[in-house]
Amino acid sequence: MLKLCMLSGSFEYDSEVSLNTLKRYVEKNYPIQANMIVYESEEDDPSLEVLDDADVLLVFTRRLNTDGESPLIVREAQVFRLVI
């Protein structure tokens, strides 16, 4: 089973709504287990731990202020996995 992680952070384009629709679709029609990381604001810093087990990262975001470990975790994920 493919493990998909979806990162939602686009407030202008309602990325959380779109990604939840996609999540339901892919889980119903394909052997995919999907997880969501949702940024509640541009300054939010949600846990990115689910990236450790993900095979694919799908990012739907725009201008987030990230500091600390978050960019490093995503950069490491890019080296070993597929980022869309």
Q: Structural domains in the chain? A: 2-83 (3.40.50.2300)
Q: What is the pLDDT of residues 23-79, one digit of tens each?
A: 999 999 999 999 998 877 666 666 677 778 888 888 887 765 555 555 444 555 554
At residue 53, what is the residue type? Answer: D
CA dihedral defined by 58, 50, 82, 79, rounded to 10 degrees? 130
List of residues 6+ apart from 75 with CB closer than 8 A: none
d(CA 49, CA 25): 24
> Could you give the 3-state DSSP secondary structure of residue 54?
coil
Backbone dihedral angles phi then psi of residue 31, each to the nearest 5 degrees: -80, 70
